[in-house]
Amino acid sequence: MDSRHTSREKLTDTLRAHGINPTHQRIEIAHALFSRQEHLSADQIMAIVNERHCETSKATVYNTLNLFVAKALIREVIVDPTRVFYDPNTEPHYHLYDVQSGRLTDVSSADVRISGLPDLPEGMVAEGMDVIIRVRPAI
Amino acid sequence: MDSRHTSREKLTDTLRAHGINPTHQRIEIAHALFSRQEHLSADQIMAIVNERHCETSKATVYNTLNLFVAKALIREVIVDPTRVFYDPNTEPHYHLYDVQSGRLTDVSSADVRISGLPDLPEGMVAEGMDVIIRVRPAI
DNA sequence: AGCCGGGCTGGACTGTGTCTAATGCAGCCC
DNA sequence: GGGCTGCATTAGACACAGTCCAGCCCGGCT
Ligand SMILES: [Mn+2]
Ligand SMILES: [Mn+2]
Ligand SMILES: [Zn+2]
Ligand SMILES: [Zn+2]
């Protein structure tokens, strides 16, 4: 398991490297995401951070997650209409979404080849491509 | 332009073919989606249907759209965290999403070749694959 | 006419996410 | 130390998509 981002000291450096002032709350929120390498909703992140005792407010959780996304430290995954998932993995990759359980799994994009995509409309630049494979338990 | 689904009579048949009892409200909602071949939110659909005079309630719009999705007459497109888009095109195809304007465009999947996807986890069946290319106006 | 069942509806409700106005706080200058 | 400045945090109000519920409507049947 990769522990690049798990210690608070390393996380502090990572935040600074992304132009983010490393406050206590921001470090704890980053830790929740980077220590587990999972896709979490804002709600889940807040529950994790405040597990022992209250460390941060709802407003700060949302402010921080939006800041992390703007600074490209994490990314959003839009797959469930009721909530956004936050992904600490910013490498290009795709997702497997279990519609039954709501579990979201990474799919390496290394081996995937996509060809035949049309040219973009004039004056448009691609910002990224999301590939989501929706699966469900058989019967 | 394909007018298979635009007349109320044809829509009535289409609804029946999908096991949906064709009421006035359901026909109007289907008409809003199939006459324009666009991706519309529930809100937009309700505005269209009630444009001349009030014909349907919010509850019915949502009930109907969920019924249409369950009966595979239309499909949802999850691309914007604030609202669901409904797509009258159920043929396999991908989407181009202009994050600036919120406009959603179809991309034919006929020419696209995707290879190297991993095997699905044991006991899982694919329900579909969403491909969304996020674009924005250059500078 | 009376019953039945599906469909429709206003309005209450839920849950995410945003906004605002107040407070805290750390660094700086005097 | 005391004031200033700017950013971060916060509680709570708010916005808003979507759901739920309980009652009504209405067409078909007997
Ligand atoms: Mn990084
Ligand atoms: Mn069809
Ligand atoms: Zn991921
Ligand atoms: Zn489409």
Q: Does A131 lie at the interface with B, CB-CB under 8 angstroms?
A: yes
Residue range B72-78: mean pLDDT, rounded: 97
pLDDT attached to residue B118: 81
| Cβ of B23 less than 7 A from strand C | yes
Pair (A68, A31) in one structural domain: yes
Same domain? B72 vs B95:
no
My answer on whether A121 and A101 are in the same domain is: yes
**Mutual angle of helices B8-17 and B24-35, in 10-degree steps:** 110
Question: Which pLDDT band holds residue B110 (cuts at 50, 70, 90)?
Answer: confident
* Judgement on whether residues B41 and B108 belong to the same structural domain of the protein: no
Q: Which of A49, A64, A85 is the last residue of a domain?
A: A85
CA of A59 to C1' of C22 (A): 14
φ, ψ of residue A67 in degrees (nearest 5): -65, -45
Reading the block at residue B134, the tokens are 């996020």
A111 contacts on B by Cβ (under 8 Å) = 116, 118
User: Where residue B3 falls among pLDDT bands split at 50, 70, 90?
Assistant: low
Token readout for B111 is: 């020419």
Query: Whole domain around residue B23: which residue ranges?
Result: 3-85
Whether B1 shows a pLDDT value over 50: the answer reads no
Q: Do B70 and B12 sit in the same domain of this protein?
A: yes
User: 3-class SS at A32?
Assistant: helix
* DSSP character string of B86-125: EES--SSEEEEEETTT--EEEEESSS-EEE-PPPPPTTEE
Q: How many CB atoms lie within 10 A of CB B112?
A: 16
C-alpha closest to that of B116 among A109, A134, A105, A129? A109
Give the pLDDT confidence score for residue A3 in this predicted structure: 55
**A119 Cβ under 8 Å from any chain B Cβ:** no
B48-71 average pLDDT score: 96
Band (pLDDT 50/70/90 cuts) for residue B113 is: confident
Banded model confidence at residue B38, pLDDT cuts 50, 70, 90:
very high
Percent share of chain B, pLDDT over 70? 96
What domain count does chain B have? 2
Same domain? A75 vs A19? yes
The reply to whether A70 touches chain B by the CB within 8 Å rule is no
Pair B101, B75 in one domain: no
Same domain, A71 and A107: no
Residues B62 and B112 in one domain: no
Residue predicted with more confidence, A63 or B117: A63
Q: What is the pLDDT of residues A72-124, one digit of tens each?
A: 999 999 999 999 999 999 999 999 999 988 899 999 888 788 887 888 889 99
- B51 in the same domain as B33: yes
Which nucleotide has the shortest C1'-to-CA distance from A58? D10
Report which bound ligand comes closest to the CA of A87. 3
> Is the same domain home to A57 and A23?
yes
CA distance A52 to A58: 16
d(CA A120, CA B15): 35
pLDDT digits (tens, 9 = 90+) for A35-61: 999 999 999 999 999 999 889 999 999
If asked whether residues B69 and B101 sit together in one domain, one would say no
Task: Look at residue B61 in the predicted model and tell me its pLDDT.
Answer: 98
Q: How sure is the predictor about A5, in pLDDT bands with cuts at 50, 70 and 90? A: low
The CATH number of residue B15's host domain is: 1.10.10.10
The pLDDT, as a whole number, for residue A4 is 54
